[in-house]
Amino acid sequence: MDTSFDFEKPIADLQQEIEKVTQIAQKTSVDMSATVKELESKLEKTRAELYKNLTRWQKVQISRHPERPYTLQFIELMCDDFIELHGDRTVKDDKAIVGGFATINGETVMVIGHQKGTNTKLRQYRNFGMANPEGYRKALRLMKLAEKFNKPVVTFIDTPGAFPGLEAEERGQGEAIARNLLEMSVLKVPILCFVVGEGASGGALGIGIGDKVYMLEHTWYSVISPESCSSILWRSWEFKEKAAECLKLTAEDMLANKLIDGIIPEPLGGAHHDPALMAQTIKNQILKDLSKLKKVAIDKLVDQRIEKFCSMGVVQE
Amino acid sequence: MAWFKRDKKGIFTSTEDKLEAPDGIWDKCPSCKKPLHYQEQVDNLYICQYCNHHLRIGSKEYFEILFDENQFKELFPKLRSGDPLNFTDSKKYTDRLEESYKKTGLNDAIRSAHGKIEGQDLVIACMDFNFIGGSMGSVVGEKIARSIDYCIKNKIPFLMISKSGGARMMEAAFSLMQMAKTSAKLALLSKARIPYISLLTDPTTGGVTASYAMLGDINIAEPGALIGFAGPRVIKETIKRDLPKGFQTSEFVLEHGFLDFIVDRKELKAKLASFIRMMAN
């Protein structure tokens, strides 16, 4: 039984109906294929309609769907070869951020991304995609490695935030993220970033400085999660829908505000409905961008990258 | 009964006026709760004379303490925030800004100025906690970015005094991107080999810690300041146990290797000046 949301009830109802009809057809061996077909086309229509008019909060929910593909699955689906590399060489190996050299269409790239677990045990093992400082330091180590061998960097962002723990503070969570922001802004290889799920605040930005930053269609990216925003501004988690509206955190909002470079369309019903197709779409984007970016002189690329982030913000003189 | 009703409500004195309060105004040290006389506070650089608690002060006071003869040229003073997201919670963001302009007499949570410290040029960008909790929005990011440009152009060392609860929620992702912006500019400052000193004061948390505050050539702090990425309440809720005593204080952060030293406000100017002198010769 796959997980569906409240707002997907019309879809679930239709699916049930189809199942019922099919069962009846099997039992009574009456040909009901016409009915099934009709219901199926209705289902497609309903789904398309539903997904065209999602509210911001619904998009947040989809971005957290437990069956959404995560970094390792994307790597498996789009890379010919992958060697995972571990550890920050100082403290330990953070399981919430994974990375390593991979080949895409024969080209070597460094892929780094947040990793969430796919079942209860693994979710715990991956700390729900919330990295500690060593995760960000591992990411930086791998990026420096990529720079050394002149390989482009691709990052996948999907985190509810950097982990707010005791040890994280002791080991300098703030410093780790800050260092990444600084180093990524001047890294001398092309960087592509994809928000593939949740893009929560500094935890997301810590691997999110790129020449091109994309968001998948049903993801969010902001300075705080709608729940936390609600609890701070209204002193209750009840206003998360309203907070999501206020924060303007969807891919469309972010593109309209010129804070990202583009939106990657998702398969109908979200990335989890067809991970292979999702991976293919991302892969095509990566290949297209890399062939373009590689033609730009690296110093110019870095200047443009810095310029892009420095132009963000709205002030009055 | 008209004389039972107040026809004027609230206190109208602006912060500016309060600072020139007449003798006889007393305050209470938030740490040891002992009464502090206003003029004594000023003479003592806003440090509690009983427990050495460093009271929270703003850019006006820091400029006064650090710049020679309190002489400085303010940089980009007119920058004010827009409202790109049309943000409204319990009140409109634009109203909140208007209120803060009135209350504090400031244009945002940061002021930047070029002056001299023991005869040497220095640009100081200093945050004001009074202005929406010292939160970092577009203006804070932009002013830091422009101050860094100014430092690179004129080859002047840069001092950043952080005092902030983190990013400004009402500018959402725009605030977030100020972290990227300021860090990128600091990379350029670093490439130009111009000294950058980051002074962390009470409190420095959230997105400010995770960007420019932690990126100094030297990171220094005032004693007893709250410094951290996540707020103590959030951490407590996450790990579901009490936090150790002294967690996330300057002393804790120094002990874990993220600060170069802790400096008493009374020694701040001399120490900064001697560091800048060492870098210059």
Domain ranges within chain A, ordered by starting residue: 6-53, 60-310
Q: How far apart are CA A119 and CA A193, in angstroms?
A: 26
Q: Name the residue in chain B with its Cα closest to that of A136.
A: B210
- Under an 8 A CB cutoff, do A205 and B179 touch? yes
Distance from CA of B69 to the nearest CA of A (A): 29
- Under an 8 A CB cutoff, do B256 and A170 touch? yes
Neighbours of A206 (CB within 10 A): 30
Distance from CA of B34 to the nearest CA of A (A): 32
Touching check for B248 and chain A: CB below 8 Å?
yes
Q: A-chain residues within 8 Å CB-CB of B215? A: 178-179, 182
Burial of A268 from C-beta contacts in 10 A (0-12 / 13-18 / 19+):
middle
- Please give the backbone phi and psi of residue B36, each rounded to the nearest 5 degrees, phi first: -120, 130
- Under an 8 A CB cutoff, do A257 and B174 touch? yes
CATH topology of domain B57-280: 2-enoyl-CoA Hydratase; Chain A, domain 1 (3.90.226)
- Under an 8 A CB cutoff, do B234 and A172 touch? no
Cis peptide upstream of residue A190 (ω within 30 degrees of 0): no
Q: How far apart are CA B176 and CA B166, in angstroms?
A: 10
State the CATH architecture for A60-310: Alpha-Beta Complex (3.90)
CA B175 to chain centre: 17
Contact A275, A69 (CB under 8 A): yes
Q: B-chain residues within 8 Å CB-CB of A124? A: none
At B144-190, the pLDDT tens digits run 999 999 999 999 999 999 999 999 999 999 999 999 999 999 999 99
Interface mutation target, options A56, A132, A175, A257, chain B, most CBs of B under 10 Å: A175
- Under an 8 A CB cutoff, do B176 and A205 touch? yes
Which of B85, B207, B230 is nearest residue A248 as measured by Cβ atoms?
B85
| Tens-binned pLDDT, residue by residue, of chain B (281 aa) | 556 676 666 666 666 666 555 556 788 899 999 988 888 888 999 999 999 999 999 999 999 999 999 999 999 999 999 999 999 888 899 999 999 999 999 999 999 999 999 999 999 999 999 999 999 999 999 999 999 999 999 999 999 999 999 999 999 999 999 999 999 999 999 999 999 999 999 999 999 999 999 999 999 999 999 999 998 988 988 888 899 999 999 999 999 999 999 999 999 999 999 999 999 98
Burial of B100 from C-beta contacts in 10 A (0-12 / 13-18 / 19+):
buried
Q: B-chain residues within 8 Å CB-CB of A162? A: 210, 229-230
Domain-by-domain residue ranges, chain B?
Answer: 57-280
Touching check for A177 and chain B: CB below 8 Å?
yes
